[in-house]
Structure 1
Amino acid sequence: MASTTPITNPAQDSMALIGRILIAALFIPAGWSKLMGFAGTVGYITSVGLPLPQVAAAIAVIVELGLGILLLVGYKTRIVALIMAIFTVATAVFFHNYWAMPADKVMANQMNFFKNLAIAGGMLAFASFGAGRFSVDKQ
């Protein structure tokens, strides 16, 4: 029976590790900041009109901090990355909706919107190909 473990070389595994570190460097501090400033996070979510802002803030902390750590170490990477990709697209739509913003906020939010889409693309690559051998998953 053929193995389902992808065949990678040390350079690919090293790049996957560096990629996970760089993406985690965005999510983990953001999640920690939301946890430590939970009331402010709830207030910000309330300001954009999302329902259940406390639940949304808790989800943000879990995804950014909790799943960010799992991504960093490469545990359950495929499902973690898929959830993080969905979360990142959702945050782009709800928090960087440049098409509905005043002219002075369009440029920065358009850039952040497309940056979020690019991050989601990277997450989908991890969801597709795994974390590499330098991970808890070792694939």
Structure 2
Amino acid sequence: MVSDISRLNDRTPGLDAGLLVARILLVALFLVAGYYKLIDPARNAAYFGSLGLPMPAAMVWVVVAIEIVLPLMILFGIGTRWAALGLLVFTIASAFIGHRFWTFDQATQFGQYFAQLSNFLKNLAIAGGLGVLALVGPGRYAIEARGRI
């Protein structure tokens, strides 16, 4: 796979820098979300409970771990493909669990409907970016690439 990326990089100047920027942009949201869950776990447990999640207090800590550990792995380029794949699954699950736009009536609750629809679609777009990252890897500017530079 590294040779495939090397050949692509030969035809696409700046690919490695672009992948680094993409990694930074993809993980920023997760790190901020994880931080805010970390500083107020009780509020987030109440929200998770309202979504019907089992053991919401424990679930907060699972989500904090996912939203901090996997993005840091992607950011620094450590097990990037696996971390991106894990975050992709988490992001799609989050779209269906947390952004249930279909539960709002478009005619009477359009603001809530549209906000949830937008967030649902944003999650899918982020999952698409994570999927690309899982396929192509982190590029040259990553800890895991040090032995391959």
The CA RMSD measured in Å over matched residues stands at 1.4
Q: Tell me the residue number matched to 1:71.
A: 74
**Relative to structure 2, which stretch is displaced further, 126-135 or 52-61?**
52-61
Question: Greater share of helix residues, 1 or 2?
Answer: 2
In our comparison, the structure showing a higher alpha carbon Rg is 2
CA separation in 2, counterparts of 1:33 and 1:65?
A: 11
Q: Percent identity?
A: 37
CA separation in 1, counterparts of 2:104 and 2:98?
A: 10
Q: Tell me the residue number matched to 1:89.
A: 92
Residues matched between the structures, number: 136
Amino acid at match of 1:72: L
Residue 113 of structure 1 is aligned with which of 75, 96, 120? 120
Residue 28 of structure 2 is aligned with which of 22, 25, 30? 25
Residue 56 of structure 1 is aligned with which of 41, 50, 59? 59
**Relative to structure 2, which stretch is displaced further, 83-92 or 48-57?**
48-57
Taking structure 1 as the reference length, the TM-score comes to: 0.92
What SS does structure 1 have at the residue aligned with 2:53? coil
Structure 1 segments, 4+ long, off by >4 Å, are none
Shift of 1:55: 2.8
Structure 1: where are the runs of 5+ without partners?
none
Matched, 1:99 2:106: no
Shift of 1:73: 0.7
Structure 2: where are the runs of 5+ without partners?
none
